[in-house]
Structure formats: structure tokens, C-alpha cells
């Protein structure tokens, strides 16, 4: 078995390196999310936090995407605004739960981590983002 693996590696060095790189990336991402203070939550938990614990939703998509449809009362802040500390009206909500959403759940982790570092105590990301939210026919507000 080991001999076959070594043979494969010697015949396909680029493919083998790509595989090792992907494996390392998966391990790093798994550890980061496991030990992060920012937790990913499902839509049911998000609606509970919004309705019962006065959670604030931060939508990191572009202004145009935000206007086309967003979770009611969401605050539109781009990832770069969050990175530079331009929190605007969000600043007064540090003690409340904050749910960071993006288009499909793939780019909200970094802005969420930055909010956590900036002193926001309860920061979450929404699994599957706005795509998952609208996919379950949950309401979206337009305009603003």
C-alpha cells in the first residue's frame, strides 16, 4: 500500500502537492472554526435571537444587493468598513447578539471575527447567508 502511494506521488507530484495543500487548508479551517468565539448558527436559531434577544443583523453585502432584499432592520456594513472600525450605528449594540450575514455564508466569518476583536461579545454568522434565508421563504425587506 505504501509503495503504491509513493509510486503515485512520484508520478503525479503536482496533484499530490495540491491534495496535501487542500488537506492542510481543511485542517486549518476546522481548527479555526472550532476554537473561534464566533459561532455559525442556523436560520431557526437566528430568528430566535432576533425575536427573543433583540439580536442585530449586520449584512456585509454590497449596497445594491442589500437594497434588493435584506433581513428586516439589518444594518448594511461591508467587510472593509468593519475591518477599518467604521461601525456607525452598530457601535451602540455591543452588548446585544450580532448576526453577520453575507450572500451565501462563505465570507461572513472574517468580518464577524473583526467585530468580536472590536469588543462585540456575542457574534454569530448565519449558515448559508441570505441565499439560505430566502431559500426557506423567510421574509426579506427591500429598499433603504
Catalytic residues: 102
DSSP output for the chain: -HHHHHHHHHH-HHHHHHHHHHHHHHHHHHHHHHH-S-EEE-HHHHHHHHHHS-PEEEE-S-HHHHHH-B-TT-EE--HHHHHTT--GGGGGGTTSEEEEE-SSSSSSHHHHHHHHHTT-SEEEEETTHHHHHHHTT---B---
Amino acid at each position: 500500500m505504501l509503495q503504491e502511494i509513493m509510486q503515485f506521488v512520484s508520478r503525479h507530484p503536482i496533484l499530490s502537492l495540491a491534495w496535501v495543500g487542500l488537506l492542510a487548508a481543511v485542517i486549518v479551517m476546522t481548527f479555526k472554526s472550532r476554537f473561534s468565539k464566533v459561532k455559525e448558527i442556523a436560520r431557526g436559531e437566528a430568528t430566535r435571537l432576533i425575536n427573543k434577544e433583540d439580536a442585530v443583523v449586520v449584512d456585509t453585502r454590497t449596497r445594491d444587493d442589500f437594497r434588493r432584499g435584506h433581513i428586516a432592520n439589518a444594518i448594511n456594513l461591508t467587510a472593509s468598513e468593519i475591518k477599518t472600525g467604521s461601525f456607525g450605528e452598530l457601535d451602540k449594540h455591543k452588548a446585544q447578539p450580532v448576526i453577520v450575514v453575507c450572500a451565501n455564508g462563505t465570507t461572513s466569518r472574517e468580518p464577524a471575527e473583526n467585530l468580536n476583536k472590536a469588543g462585540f461579545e456575542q457574534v454569530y454568522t448565519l449558515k448559508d447567508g441570505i441565499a439560505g434565508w430566502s431559500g426557506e421563504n423567510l421574509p426579506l425587506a427591500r429598499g433603504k
